[in-house]
Structure 1
Amino acid sequence: MSNAKALPLLERQPAPESAVPCCPPLTERPLTAEEAERTAGMFKALGDPVRLRLFSLVASHEGGEACVCDISDVGVSQPTVSHHLKKLREAGLLTSERRGTWVYYRVEPSVVAAMGQMLKIAG
């Protein structure tokens, strides 16, 4: 038996505050060590092909959210899918919400927008 705390019927898991990128575009100024550390965690999470595929499946899913039951066919076992989704959530890239027995994932738009802004090259 697990010692894990039972989740309520409906529980939203927000992105961790520490994962929110705070950084200006790379062309504006050099990153501080702290900014680089925080942002690298997000890119590291996306650096795994299975995680990138899961992230893409959630991002492109109709309605902007996907049930784990709809995205688990990525060539790895269900426990591995759950592990990868947890890593994406911990990196601040996804939020999750439990509805009954299923967990629904949504891309954290503010984090993704900030990452895109950071990579934007001034023209």
Structure 2
Amino acid sequence: MRPLLATPTMIDEASGIFAALGDPSRLRILQVLLEAEAPLNQGVVAARAHLAQANASKHLSCLVRTGLLTRSQEGNTVYYLPVQPMVSDLCSLVGAHVSHRVAATLQALN
């Protein structure tokens, strides 16, 4: 079986994705966009993620740069959308892992 991260370039790309996911604000942005029924603009994302506009802009740019979000422009408005199904699958996998760890910790405490 071929390793998932077979080349140094792939390892570098994966590292960038994990770094992007390592920020709680970016995870909140992904959650907001995954829960939305349509692409959202920066102002709506910022409000729903409880971020200042400037912070939201910085984090959205990072998520686009790492390939986790796509952006489209209609007139003067830019809309953001998670790359599917990869982002929802990745978030579900991490969420299940975290839930399992929390449950195991709680069980160990009892």
TM norm structure 1: 0.61
Extract unaligned runs of 5+ from structure 2.
Answer: 95-110
Looking at structure 2, the residues matched to 113 and 34 of structure 1 have their Cα atoms a distance apart, in angstroms, of: 24
1:20 corresponding residue in structure 2: none
What is the root-mean-square deviation in Å for CA atoms of aligned residues? 2.7
Report the alpha carbon displacement of residue 111 of structure 1 after superposing the two structures with TM.
4.6
Report the alpha carbon displacement of residue 68 of structure 1 after superposing the two structures with TM.
1.9
Q: Secondary structure at the match of 1:83?
A: helix
Extract unaligned runs of 5+ from structure 1.
Answer: 1-26
Relative contact order, CA 8 A, sep 6+: which one is greater? 1
| Percentage of matched positions with identical amino acids | 30
Q: Secondary structure at the match of 2:72?
A: strand
Aligned residue pairs total 90
Looking at structure 2, the residues matched to 101 and 57 of structure 1 have their Cα atoms a distance apart, in angstroms, of: 22
Evaluate the alpha carbon distance shift between residue 92 and residue 78 of structure 1 in structure 2; reply closer, same or farther with a 3 A threshold: same
1:15-67, Cα deviation, whole Å (9 max, x unpaired): xxxxxxxxxxxx8526332211111111111110001110111122013x222
Looking at structure 2, the residues matched to 69 and 29 of structure 1 have their Cα atoms a distance apart, in angstroms, of: 40
